[in-house]
A and B are shown apart, each in its own frame.
Chain A
Amino acid sequence: MLGFETSDDAAVYQISPHLAAVLTNDFFTPIVDDPYDFGRIAAANALSDVYAMGAQPLYALALAAFPHNLPAHLLSQIEAGALHITRQAGVTQGGGTTLIDPEPKFGLCVLGVADPAYIWKNQGARPGDVLILTKPIGTGIMTTAAKRQAIDQERLAPVIESMATLNATAAGAGIDMDVHAATDVTGFGLIGHLHEMALASGVSVTVDTARIKLFDGVIDLVRSGIFPGKTRELISWASDMVCFDESGNEPCYLENEQLTREQALAVLCDPQTSGGLLLALAPQDAQRYLEACAQMNVAWVDIIGHFDACEEPTQAGTIRLTNGGIDEH
């Protein structure tokens, strides 16, 4: 039903008119030092693809790769972290495979289910829809800083908690609503995933950069030139699809801080691990969604922009960055 032809977060295999299997696999190298946290993050990240489709994850196989000389208790901690998250998600683990690998990796292969009629796709955003983001941005910058010992563990703690937080609640808040399009923010950064969503939907999007929440410390780190190496590649890729508002190319404001265009793009293109959901909703539904999130204690969620009609088809996927002034409808 959904495979390679779209940039959706998971594949969809229709089983019957009212039942579809939602399948995804995701694994990666340690992003934090603590093995338990790594297991939690890897599991939450893999399950996120299923939540981003509006589906319910049910079962998972673990895919682990460990150096043969890594102490067994570290490996157990990774598995225990993943177990913590799968239990929280109500997901049953069914085994998996474990490899010997000089570079450790961990992840899950996940099976979820959904009614095919209600699957969220990354296409379908309409002009006038508002854009909602459900987690702060900056995991790539913060974990890179921790690796370079530019920040301490205390500063990294909220980032770890965010990455280990399931997108289950944020997805659940919208499950009975008419979500026009959805995705989660991961390796291509906010800009990359937003571009895919807008392009697939044939619309452009305006983002109020002042509304995007960043992890504490992101601005200072970017000003110091600390961000992942991959970001430069993403900035280069994004340059053609991003335009700054009519006031000119610079400056850009994030969290009321003035940044250069390059610095702002380093934040907005920052590759996220287990990032939040991006949702396109009609304005009246957006307010209901925010209220539902508040009731369900989603840590942070906000409207960060809106989708616009394109005057020319070639404008589809374009992202306009503004410094405030987004109409809250």
Chain B
Amino acid sequence: MSTKHTSVRLTDLTNRPGARVKYPYASVERILAQAGVLQTFPHIAQGEDAFLCELDDSLQAALAIECLTPFTTDLRIFGASVATSVIDRILAVGAHPCAALNLLSFPCSMDALQIGSMLASAQEVLSAHNATVVGGHTVDDREPKFGIFAFGLVDPQQPTYSLAGAHAGDALVITKPLGAQLLCSYHDQGELADEFLDAAATNMATSAHLFAQHFETYNVHACACIGAGGLLSAVERMADHATSPVKTQIDAGRLPLLAGVIECAFDHAQRLSDQDRQGKSLEALALQTILEDPAIAGGLVMAMTKQDALRMTSTIGGRMIGTFDPA
């Protein structure tokens, strides 16, 4: 899907490519608390991937937003990844996507064809999930950003899902291999061949639709998107909101990784200064790099019983990567 042709290196226009543009969550929490927002709307503090809200007595809607800076010069990949990310957020709460509005914050001087290809690839993803692009907003911005505001509906007969609700003893299942952003970053620096970018692009354009369709079949207790904080942050958020105190166990050997990720992670670890290494081994640093890789459309992490996890992974895919043990 990579088009390999751009007249401007978009990643040169931002110092914080991809999910690195996100403001640190802890700082945002402090800002919102100081503003009184969290006190007025305490549900925000839970940090769900999408906001579930009631439209009437029987109908719930889901709202989600994703907005990022380019992490690759290939705008088709960028557009598809942003769209997949926002779709996954809607799916993660048990809703189905219906409509989307674009948020285009780009330099006016940008080539319209490039922007058009980005919007087209985003629309392909949205259309494939039955979400219609119904409008949007544009801003002239020196640092390019692309976002999507998505609207979904919950089938009144179906349950909704949350990152809260994991049980002690649950298994953790993730929906797709990790490390796409690490590959994109190395490719953008000219240190990785195009085939790795193509694999990352395919990974990021693959939504969790198949898994979301079967949440109920496999009795999913809790679910979170793997996003800007990487796998580790998603699992921590779920652990914090488990039904009883849990201790997270992740089996590093079971983590599904895209080809090339291990090499990039070790290379990244080797380049760290002594101060950043904090006395840790290369293996530990490489693992940390993978677990904290700021993901875009990084898939879902789900908690369910081990039996259900085995049934799910043997039937529709995904990988069991660890457990929430009783603390």
Interface residues as binary, A88-101 with B (CB distance below 8 Å gives 1, 0 otherwise): 00001111111111
A109 touches B99 (CB 8 A): no
A117 contacts the other chain (Cβ, under 8 Å)? no
Q: Do B30 and A72 have beta carbons less than 8 Å apart?
A: yes
CB-based closest 9 A-B pairs: A94-B51, A11-B134, A79-B35, A76-B34, A98-B23, A11-B135, A3-B134, A80-B35, A109-B149
Closest residue of chain A to B149 (Cβ to Cβ) is A109
CA gap between A149 and B21 in the complex, in Å: 33
Residue of A nearest to B16 (CB): A100
13 A-B residue pairs with Cβ-Cβ distance under 8 Å, sorted by A, are: A15-B55, A15-B153, A23-B135, A28-B139, A72-B31, A76-B31, A80-B37, A92-B41, A96-B65, A99-B67, A109-B63, A111-B63, A113-B55
What 1/0 flags go to A1-15 for Cβ under 8 Å of B? 011100000111101
B129-149 interface code vs A (CB 8 A; 1 in, 0 out): 000111111010111010101
**Residue A83 is within 8 A (CB to CB) of chain B in the complex:** yes
B25-39 CB mask vs A (1 if < 8 Å, else 0) is 001101110111100
A148 cross-chain contacts in B, Cβ below 8 A: none
A23 with B151: in contact, given A15-B55, A68-B23 (CB under 8 Å)? yes
Closest to A1 in B: B134
Shortest B276–chain A CB gap in Å is: 19
List of A residues within 8 angstroms of B23 by Cβ: 64, 66, 68, 98-100
Cα(A155)–Cα(B43), bound, Å: 40
Do the beta carbons of B31 and A75 come within 8 Å of each other?
yes
Segment at the interface with B among A55-63, A177-185, A308-316:
A55-63
A26 beta carbon closer than 8 Å to chain B: yes
1/0 per position for B18-62, CB-CB distance to A under 8 A? 000111000110111011110011011001100101011001010
Closest CB in chain A relative to B145 CB, distance in Å: 7
Question: What distance in Å separates the Cβ of B16 from its nearest Cβ neighbour in chain A?
Answer: 6
Closest to B137 in A: A25
Instruction: Please name the residue on chain B nearest to A95 by beta carbon.
Output: B44
**Interface of chain A residues 239 through 274 with chain B (CB within 8 A):** none
**Residue in B closest to A62 when the chains form the complex, CB atoms:** B37
Contact A94 B53 (CB under 8 A): yes
Q: Which B residues touch A26, using CB under 8 A? A: 137
By a CB distance below 8 angstroms, the chain A residues around B135 are 3-4, 10-11, 23-25
Residues B67 and A97 in contact, CB atoms below 8 Å apart: yes
Contact A72 to B149, CB < 8 A, known contacts A24-B101, A94-B43, A113-B55:
no
B20, closest chain A residue (CB): A100
Instruction: With A11-B134, A83-B37 as known contacts, state yes or no: A61 contacts B149, CB within 8 Å.
Output: yes
B22 touches A13 (CB 8 A): no
Question: Residue A21 contacts which of B27, B28, B151 (CB distance < 8 angstroms)?
Answer: B151
Minimum CB–CB distance for A98 against chain B, Å: 4
Question: Which B residues fall within an 8 A CB radius of A?
Answer: 16, 21-23, 27-28, 30-32, 34-37, 40-41, 43-44, 47-48, 51, 53, 55-56, 59, 61, 63-67, 69, 98-99, 101, 103, 105, 132-137, 139, 141-143, 145, 147, 149, 151, 153
**B52 CB to closest chain A CB, in angstroms?**
8
Known: A59-B63, A97-B22, A109-B63. A25 touches B40 (CB 8 A): no
Contact: B134 with A13, CB < 8 Å? yes
The answer to whether A4 touches B63 (Cβ under 8 A) is no
CA distance A97 to B145 in the complex (A): 13
A96 to B44 Cα, complex, angstroms: 9
- Decide: A63 and B55 in contact? CB cutoff 8 A: no
Q: For residue B269, give the distance in angstroms from its CB to the closest CB of chain A.
A: 25
**Most chain A CB within a 10 A radius of its CB, from B32, B47, B64:** B32
Knowing A99-B21, A101-B21, say if A80 contacts B53 (CB, 8 Å): no
Contact with B along A73-87 (1 / 0, CB 8 A): 101111110010001
Contact B65 A98 (CB under 8 A): no
Within A7-44, the residues touching B (CB, 8 Å) are 10-13, 15, 19, 21, 23-29
Contacts of B31 in A (CB 8 A): 72, 75-76, 79, 98
Interface flag for A105 (CB, 8 Å): yes
- Residues of B within 8 Å of A80, CB to CB, are 34-37
